[in-house]
Amino acid sequence: MKRYALALTLVLALAAGFGCAKKTETVSDTGISPEMQAAIQQITDARVYFAFDKFDIKPEYKDMLKIKADLMKQFPSIRVRIEGNCDERGTQEYNLALGERRARAAYEYMVTLGVNPSQLEMISYGKENPAVQGTGEAVWAQNRRDDFRVIAH
């Protein structure tokens, strides 16, 4: 009986070791190809920053927006929300309007690059969604921005 129990224990241990390999989640399990994952990462990583009280797209951000646009044209199922943000100075109403103009500037530029307008939406958070807390020009400069959030893929 002891031999039988020992043999059964060994068989069960071996079966557990060989038959129940851990399942690791792969990209195909999520339904997103590695190419689309990389595109989503590139779209969301880079931000557009603005000068004080401005909403025009600086030349140094145009190539980055072109890359985002090309990826969105390559993957037409990707939808992006452009989020306009401001620093803490100014009234709430003024900053909401300025944040909207910032988001619209990126939206319109990407549409001129060939992105389908149905892939884009805009929102302004004004000064309500700072990237960095604090005061001073170094902090404020980081809060005057457009963020890009993938909302569907």
CA atoms within 13 A on the CB side of 134: 9
Q: Which residues contact 104 (CB under 8 A, 6 or more apart)?
A: 55, 84, 122
Phi, psi of 140 (to 5 degrees): -60, -40
Q: Which two tokens mark 57?
A: 């797209």
3-class secondary structure, 42: helix
Residues 65-108 have pLDDT tens digits of: 999 999 999 999 999 999 999 999 999 999 999 999 999 999 99
Residues 30-77 have pLDDT tens digits of: 688 999 999 999 999 999 999 999 999 999 999 999 999 999 999 999
Q: At what angle do helices 62-74 and 92-112 cross, to 10 degrees?
A: 60
User: How many of the other CB atoms lie within 10 Å of CB of 103?
Assistant: 26
Residues 125-137 have pLDDT tens digits of: 999 999 999 999 9
> What is the CATH architecture of 33-152?
2-Layer Sandwich (3.30)
| pTM of structure | 0.80
The residues spanned by each domain of the chain are 33-152
Handedness of CA 133, 139, 141, 142 (dihedral sign): negative
